Amino acid sequence: MSSNAAPQPAPAASRKALSVLFSSTFAFTICFAVWTMFSVLGVPLKTELSLNETQFGLLIATPVLTGSLVRVPLGMLTDRFGGRIVFVLVLLVCVPPLYLMSYATTYAQFLVLALFVGLAGGTFSVGTPYVARWFAPERRGFAMGVFGAGNSGSALNMFVAPLVIGAFGWTMLPRAYAALMLGTAVLFWLFSHSDPAHRAPSAVGLRQQLSVLKDPRVWRYCQYYSVVFGGYVALALWATKYYVAEYGFDLTLAAFLAMVFSLPGGVLRALGGWFSDRFGAYAVTWWVMWVCWVCFFLLSYPQTQMTIQTLQGPVSLHIGLNSTVFTILLFVVGVAMAIGKASVFKFISDDYSDNIGAVSGVVGLAGGLGGFVLPILFGALLDITGVYSSAFMLLYGTVCVSLVFMHYSYQRAPRAGTELTGTV
């Protein structure tokens, strides 16, 4: 056999896999920063456009809608044509609307441009199957966790955006992000690779790819992901505004404290992948939900002033979380959600190794729709109740539903020590 016919050496394949992993993670980090840019940009725009809380919620959530809806088709295109070309095209398409945003003057214009900018969020369902296929099954959980750490782009946005807005005004931020996306597209193309063997066979049609929707396991994973990812995106978008309104902080300090939640919620996703490889996706997801349940219960309690009648007369008490305790609890939630996002996709990599793109697109769609709907509901609840912590009351309810759902959807295998299996 000639040397040309010999299989590719393992070290070369490993180097390519690592190059794909790191270039994809970098590109996704930038995309996520752009996807969540309104978490900071929306604060000055709320004042400039005189928006109420519901309108503000819709503005910051609009990019999430597009990024969610395109995840299924982008995942399917990745299965068919490969992740490299699809990723680059999405990066390039986002550049013009980003630049044009600096010239927008009305609420409607911002909403329309935000829909196009939201395409950046769809890169998750491109990078997930693209990265996963470069690694062996026993390492996919960790690899997808590293890629998913690109969620920390929301923390990058919270660090960079206030500095840019403070120094040059809000119009400079979309221009800077447009240049950043263009440069990222060039760097990604230079350092990524393609492997035709990773593409789905041409004989696999649209109907076959969408057949996964008939599997009840897919819908369970959608529900879990709508909590751990949808909740993460919603809080990443809402946290800066919450600090400004609830505690009276300025934009820079509020964004910095919000970053305490967003950063671990992104970078620790790799740890979640490792935990899932080691202990199993179900056990990790179960404990994540319980941690979130406890934290959201505490975060839900509103600032309360009580007067108690005693023998010595009335005594006034104030019950509520100060900014320090609030930030600590939010940090714990960020860590838990980071681990949970990885554990849910460990389910997918185990059960759908041949159709990761389509399934990750469907599950990513559900998570993204959660990230779209929740900020709008946060704003509507605030307009109705006037209670800022009502956002956490809603999240507490969603976690309760998840715990009940997980309890009745899974049972222990009859003769296994720690193995858990799903019931259909």
Q: Is the dihedral of CA 410, 126, 39, 65 positive or negative?
A: negative
pLDDT at 136: 80
H or E stretch at 385? helix 356-385
Residues 329-364 pLDDT 10s:
999 999 999 888 888 877 777 777 666 666 777 787
d(CA 326, CA 195): 47
Q: Does 280 reside within a domain?
A: yes
Q: Scanning the structure block, which residue is given the tokens 């809608």?
A: 65
Q: How far apart are CA 327 and CA 321, in angstroms?
A: 9
Cβ(319)–Cβ(304) below 8 Å:
yes
pLDDT score, position 120? 93
In the block, which residue shows the tokens 């809402």? 238
Residues belonging to the chain: 424
Q: Return the pLDDT at 402.
A: 83
Task: Write out pLDDT tens, residues 364-390.
Answer: 778 888 888 898 899 899 999 988 889
- Give tens-digit pLDDT for 79-132: 788 889 999 999 999 999 999 999 999 999 999 999 999 999 889 888 888 888
**Local structure of residue 183 (DSSP, 8 states):** H
Q: What is the pLDDT of residue 1?
A: 43
Does some domain include residue 286?
yes
In a domain, 66, yes or no: yes
User: Could you give the residue ranges of the DSSP H alpha helices within 1-117?
Assistant: 10-35, 38-49, 53-69, 71-81, 83-93, 95-101, 107-117
95 is a domain residue: yes
Q: What is the CATH number of the domain that holds 110?
A: 1.20.1250.20
pLDDT at residue number 412? 45
- Please indicate, yes or no, if residue 353 is contained in any of the structural domains: yes
| Number of domain units in the chain | 1
Residue 124 belongs to a domain: yes
pLDDT at 326: 93
The answer to whether position 4 is within a domain reads no
Residues 117 and 34: their CA atoms lie apart, in Å, by 8
Cβ atoms of 78 and 354 closer than 8 Å:
no
- The residue range of the domain holding 119 is 14-422
**For residue 156, how many other CB atoms are within 10 A of its CB?**
20
Is the distance from CB of 383 to CB of 376 less than 8 angstroms? no
User: Mind listing the pLDDT tens digit of every residue in the chain (424 residues)?
Assistant: 444 444 444 565 688 888 999 999 999 999 999 999 998 999 899 989 998 988 998 998 899 889 888 887 888 888 788 889 999 999 999 999 999 999 999 999 999 999 999 999 889 888 888 888 888 877 777 787 788 788 888 889 988 999 999 999 999 999 999 999 999 999 999 998 887 766 665 545 556 656 666 777 788 888 888 888 889 888 988 988 899 888 988 888 998 898 888 888 777 777 877 788 788 878 888 899 999 999 999 999 888 888 888 878 888 888 888 999 999 999 999 999 988 888 887 777 777 766 666 677 778 778 888 888 898 899 899 999 988 889 999 999 989 988 887 777 765 433 333 444 443 3
Establish if 403 belongs to a structural domain.
yes
